[in-house]
Structure 1
Amino acid sequence: MLADTEEAVRGPDLVNAGSLGVESGAGSTPRRSPRLPIVERLDHWLRLLVEGAAAALVVAEIVILFAGVVARYVFQSPLVWSDELAGILFLWLSMLGAVAALRRGDHMRMTGLVTRVRPATRAFLEALAVAAPLAFLILILPEAIDYANEESFIVTPALEISNAWRAAAIPTGIALMMVAALLRLFRLPREIGWRPVMGAVVVTLVVAACFWAAGPWLKPLGQINLLIFFVGLVATCVFTGVPIAFAFALSTFAYLALTTSTPMLVMVGRLDEGMGHLMLLAVPLFIFLGALIEMTGMARAMIQFLASMLGHVRGGLSYVLIAAMYLVSGISGSKIADMAAIAPVLFPEMQKRGAKPGELVALLAATGAQTETVPPSIVLITIGSVTGVSIAALFTGGLIPACVLGAMLCAVVWWRYRKEDLSAISKPRAREIAKLFLVALPAILLPFVIRAAVVEGVATATEVSTIGVVYSVVIGLVIYRQFDWSRLMPMLIDTAVLTGAIIMIVGCATAMAWGLTQSGFSQNLAQWMAGIPGGTYGFLAVSIVAFIILGSVLEGIPAMVLFGPLLFPIAKAIGVNEVHYAMVVIFAMGIGLFAPPFGVGYYGACAISRIHPDEGLRHVWGYIAALLVGLFLVAAVPWFSTGLL
């Protein structure tokens, strides 16, 4: 998976709806190395420094952006420097979050192969997942330092300070990631022994030397190098468990360095461009908001109200699960957070009524794919940032398509539960339902507050998350009286870690997409896609198949950053509305992400539910078929995506 599912069980704050996955342990070996006190001490201080600073930056971003909203909307006196300062701090947050993610082993990675090999091979692959990123960091650090020096001559327009204050985040983060990777390499022998660690280091050095020596023979190959580096090398890295961001980065660096005359300073600039986009600042803020709604009891209140409305209907709690995922997804933007907020509340009662564990996890995974377009989805924000499509339009366009897929899932639920025995279930009284509605009302209002703020122009898609955060804090403290202060720091740290993992992928995929564009690949792809038989529907059909496959391998964010800038202009050129196209490819990726045996989202749902993946396999295919029917309806009827625009 893209990260260790055992890690996901710890709570909803660690990984996203879209970033699912975790690092797995390497398996036991008979010999373990002794503890190294110096390494442990250095790692301890690195953790305190990086995680403390990253958590502080999350708080600073919330304060700065919310202050900007208040100053502009309440006092009619905008803070002209707020966005600029937020952008500077965001790059530092992303880099420090990436450091913390590397130290904890939380960068997104595909571990499907790693978990299926014998222990000795698995140990080697776990070490390789650290050695390969370390090689890239060593190679890119001098270029990052040069890039920061070049940026020192630029003065920012609002704050009028040197841009080096911002650009220095890149070499600083890379240097700290090198330290974190080295410390992990020294800690790994305690778990797997020195032999696999040394083997991984030697293999990394040998492969790098072989590519370097082959440089003169590679340059004349032209676009064949795209297959060597962007297919062969990327696939090898991804399937052997190297974090996806570093698989992209290594392949791009090797391609540019060995087959072109492009200065590596340019690659650092593309990393900066991808990681520094201000629209992406919504990512950490919505991740933190998702954690808040679970911690303050808002999610539980919504679910209890829905259960009182539908719990006495055949399959009623399954309908509640579908509706609750729709509502909660619209607040948190994180699939792991969504599932972790809902499953512990609903599953015990559903099992008491006779629901099979496999049926529960199958439906949970299916609703994860269904709600991929419910705003404020991180995938929607990413699409807007890399393609230029209006995020407000994407937020509006995603509501009805998710309802269409939800209706298809409800049809399957009705068929499967049409003979359910409800003789022991009593219908709640109207007074009880009204009481639960009043309790849930502040929580139910949150998604409407968020969307109204964007539509009415009170705040941008980036700033609106701060309104949600402040709203949730006030509601949790004043109304629900449920605010666990001891969880606040871990939530801030987990927000920074997940942000670093996501933004690192965005930056590396941006550099990789730039390399593909410079090679002429995008023009060739455009010509081929434009010539597909069937016009717009032929183009949509090919896109659906391609993104289902991509979603099962790369997951939504890296796939969209890599291929969105290439395919969206083609879609527009042949007459496909960009919002409509976004809904189609997001659902296609979501189905790939949550469909076994390769979809890592399915295993994330299993981890959250504490249900073995094998139990859900027999039940999930009916829901996958329903999702495909819904996807074809959304693709065939553009109005579902554009009717509210």
Structure 2
Amino acid sequence: MIATLFLLLFLMLLFAVPVFVALSFSSLMSFSFFSNMNLMVIMQRMLGGIDKFSLISVPFFILGANVMKNGGIANRILIWVRVWVGHLRGGIAFSTEVACMFFGAVSGSSPATVVAIGGLMYPALKRNGYHEGFATGLITSSGSVALLIPPSISAIIYGAVTGVSVGALFMAGVGAGLLYGLFYLWYSAWYAYKNKIPQDKRTSWKERGKATKEAAWALGIPVIIMGGIYGGIFTPTEASGVSAVYAILVSMFIYREMDFKKLLKTCIDSAETTAQVMMLLAAASAFGWILTVGQVPQALGNWLASANVTRVTFLLLTNVILLIAGMFIDGSSAIIIMVPLLYPLSIKLGINPVHYGVIMVANAAIGMFTPPFGMNLFVAQPITGNKMIAIIRGVMPFVLISIIALIIITYWSSLSLFLPRLVYGGMI
């Protein structure tokens, strides 16, 4: 049954069948041919996979991200960041990365971050002397930090599949996301110095004050999300609903860049994206259940024990497997497929489940722009107007930088676990 399951899955992925179809069809066929149980069991497992309280936050975070992109919030965040860091060496590139980190802290979506920030910053990077390859690579890769900086939809998915606290995962993503972003800032500064990129004129305190006043309502969203969660005012799920409503009110009644017609279209687009995510999770739930019934995790665990695989080696194998998977499927899909196989083994080796979740999410972030099929590559193409081969060349230095950051995140567990342990104590 397991051999048929994987054979069908890989064949369908090879022929570019949608991931949720590949997962559900391979599960259904394997179960129908090799089990005497009623096929309704598969339907029940699929429904059970999405019948989880933590997943209620997914549609709200997706809606919030789309509202911020269409309602003027993203633009004000970008302007605010630029007046503060634009005068530094590599300031435009700094503005791009820091804006992506801020937008990631209110959206949790990598493609949405590329669209919201990239469309505004790519022309500015070109005008300020940055080479097309660097500008393209930065725009395409910077959005990936949204998967690490909380709230992260990938972290929510990992938490839903494994049962690990989403709040703890959000906290763990702060340290990892900051390190990830700092590597990009360092590379941007080095590139600007090497290529003698001119610096922006330093803005006055009056201009900074004006930009801060304009962006104050926009900057309230991360304060609501993170402050509310860390302050114990509401759960991550409740924070998602509050932030979405707040974004709508700000966009419609304060910035007045969104009317009811635009809101309706934004809601429809968000519903479509949510449906895709939920179908993927439902199919993955059935797939993971069949793996468990087939005792695949147990067999792999026994193999690890007999082979004396250490934590260091296992974490290295995890990164290699997920980086390769990220070349062909999106990061969330890779997490969904690999968690049933790898998570039980990580527990058996004594790896902290919160830290392991951050490692998986970091791999998912890199997979978002890894050639040949990283989603951000395709999102960036209409924004930059470049051919795909040029985009791929542009992102390769950023792939290398991200892998270096990934290695540090993988083997420096305290970086991720400091905040969760500060809040939850011995529970993490």
Same topology, TM > 0.5: yes
What is the CA-CA distance between 1:424 and the residue it aligns to? 7.7
Q: What is the CA distance between 1:613 and its match in structure 2?
A: 1.9
Equivalent of 1:268 in 32, 43, 53:
43
2:12 equivalent to 1:226 = no
Partner of 1:501: 276
SS at match of 1:572: helix
AA in 2 matched with 1:418: Y
Q: Aligned ranges for residues 63-462 of structure 1 at < 5 Å?
A: 225-227=1-3, 229-421=4-196, 425-462=200-237
Which residue is 2:424 aligned to? none
Equivalent in the alignment of 1:178: none
1:604 aligned residue: 379
In 1, Cα distance between equivalents of 2:140 and 2:246: 29
**Residues 1:627 and 2:384 aligned together:** no
| 2:284 is aligned with 1:520 | no
- Where relative contact order (Cα < 8 A, 6+ residues apart) is larger, the structure is 2
Are 1:492 and 2:306 an aligned pair? no
- Cα distance change, pair 279–371 in 1 and its aligned pair in 2 (3 A): same
User: 1:465 & 1:482 partners in 2: Cα distance?
Assistant: 22
**Native 8 Å contact 1:366 1:627 kept in 2:** no
The amino acid that maps onto 1:359 is F
Given residue 226 of structure 1, which amino acid in structure 2 is its aligned partner? I
Q: Report the secondary structure of 2:147's partner residue.
A: coil
Mapped contact 1:288–1:495 kept (Cα < 8 A): yes
After TM superposition, the structure 1 stretch with the greater mean CA deviation from structure 2, 421-430 or 397-406, is: 421-430
Pair 1:277–1:477, CA change in 2 (3 A): same
* Map of 1:543 onto structure 2: 318
1:530 and 1:570 in contact (8 A); partners too? no
The one-letter code matched in structure 1 to 2:33 is: L
Kindly tell me: are residues 641 and 509 of structure 1, through their superposed partners in 2, closer, same or farther at Cα, counting changes over 3 Å?
same
Note the alpha carbon deviations across 1:279-302, whole angstroms, 9 max, x for none: 111111111100111222111111
Shift of 1:559: 2.3
Whichever of the two has the greater Rg, that structure is 1
Do the aligned partners of 2:329 and 2:373 also contact (CA within 8 Å) in 1?
no
Q: Which amino acid aligns with 1:573?
A: K
Tell me the amino acid that sits aligned with residue 82 of structure 2: A
Deviation at 1:532, TM superposition (A): 5.3
- Distance 1:545-1:532 versus aligned 2 partners, 3 A rule: farther
- Give the direction of change, closer, same or farther, for the CA distance of 1:529–1:322 in structure 2 (3 Å limit): farther
1:263 Cα deviation from its structure 2 partner: 1.3
CA distance in 2, matches of 1:316, 1:425: 7
Note the C-alpha offset of 1:632.
Answer: 0.6
1:519-578 deviations in Å (ceiling 9; x for gaps):
121211222344555521111101010111122223222222232234223212312111
2:368 counterpart residue number = 593
Residues 6-85 of structure 1 correspond to what in structure 2 (within 5 A)? Answer: none
Please identify, of 428-437 and 603-612, the stretch whose mean Cα deviation from structure 2 is larger: 603-612
| Structure 1 residues without counterparts, runs of 5 or longer | 1-224
1:422 Cα deviation after fit: 5.8
Amino acid at match of 2:52: H
| Alignment pair present for 1:477 and 2:245 | no
8 Å contact from structure 2 (residues 88, 200) kept in 1: no
Structure with more of its chain in helix, by fraction: 2
Checking the alignment, whether the CA contact within 8 Å between 1:549 and 1:589 is kept in structure 2 is: no
Q: CA 1:423–1:412 in structure 2 vs 1: closer, same or farther (change >3 Å)?
A: closer
- Contact 2:301 2:348 survives alignment (8 Å): no
User: Which sections of structure 2, spanning at least 5 residues, go unmatched?
Assistant: 421-428
Quick one: structure 1 residues 509 and 316, their matched pair in 2 at CA, closer, same or farther if it must change by over 3 Å? same
Q: Does the 8 Å contact 2:89/2:199 carry over to 1? A: no
Q: Would the aligned equivalents of 2:86 and 2:199 in 1 still touch at CA under 8 Å? A: no
| 414-423 or 388-397, larger mean C-alpha shift | 414-423
Pick the aligned partner of 1:636 from 396, 411, 418.
411
Following the alignment from structure 1 to structure 2, what is the Cα–Cα distance between the partners of residues 527 and 490?
52
Amino acid of the residue matched to residue 543 of structure 1?
T
What amino acid maps onto 1:574 in structure 2? L
The 3 A distance-change label for structure 1 pair 519 and 500 is same
1:506 touches 1:557 (CA, 8 Å); kept in 2?
Answer: no
Change (3 A) 1:529 1:321: farther
Pair 1:434–1:504, CA change in 2 (3 A): same
In 2, the alpha carbon distance for the partners of 1:393 and 1:255 equals 36
Instruction: Tell me if the contact between 2:149 and 2:178 (Cα under 8 Å) persists in the aligned partners.
Output: no
Answer yes or no: is the 8 Å Cα contact 1:280–1:385 preserved in 2. yes
Q: 1:608 and 1:280, CA in 2 relative to 1: closer, same or farther beyond 3 A?
A: farther
Task: Give 1:419 deviation, angstroms.
Answer: 4.1
CA distance in 1, matches of 2:198, 2:168: 46
| 1:404-460, Cα deviation, whole Å (9 max, x unpaired) | 111111221122110455668422212111111121122112112111222233322
Deviation at 1:474, TM superposition (A): 2.6
**Which residue is equivalent to 2:426?**
none
Whether contact under 8 Å (1:552, 1:600) holds in the other structure is no
Q: Which amino acid aligns with 1:600?
A: M
Q: Which amino acid aligns with 1:519?
A: G
Residues 328 and 372 of structure 2 are in contact (CA less than 8 Å); yes or no, is this contact kept in structure 1?
Answer: no
Q: Is residue 355 of structure 2 the alignment partner of residue 580 of structure 1? A: yes
**Which has the larger displacement, 631-640 or 365-374?**
365-374
Structure 1 counterpart of 2:79, which letter?
A: Q
How does the TM-score come out when normalised to structure 1? 0.63
Counterpart CA distance in 2 for 1:506 and 1:465 is 19
Q: C-alpha separation between the residues in 2 aligned to 1:532 and 1:360?
A: 46
| Equivalenced residues, count | 420
The alpha-carbon distance between structure 1 residues 434 and 287, as it changes in their structure 2 partners (threshold 3 A), is same
Shift of residue 494 of structure 1?
Answer: 1.1
Instruction: Note the alpha carbon deviations across 1:210-230, whole angstroms, 9 max, x for none.
Output: xxxxxxxxxxxxxxx422x22
| Kept in 1: contact 2:64–2:244 (CA 8 A) | yes
Counterpart in the other structure of 2:425? none
**Residue 608 (structure 1) shift:** 3.7
Q: Is the 8 A contact 2:377 2:392 kept in 1?
A: no
- The 1:608–1:462 alpha-carbon spacing in structure 2 relative to 1, beyond 3 Å, is farther
Local SS of the residue matching 1:553 = coil
Residue type at the aligned position of 1:305: W
Q: Go from structure 1 to structure 2 and tell me whether the alpha carbon gap of 1:453 and 1:425 turns closer, same or farther (over 3 Å shift).
A: closer
When the two chains are superposed, the root-mean-square deviation of aligned CA atoms in Å is: 1.8
Q: Take 2:69 and 2:27, find their aligned partners in 1: how far apart are those partners?
A: 39
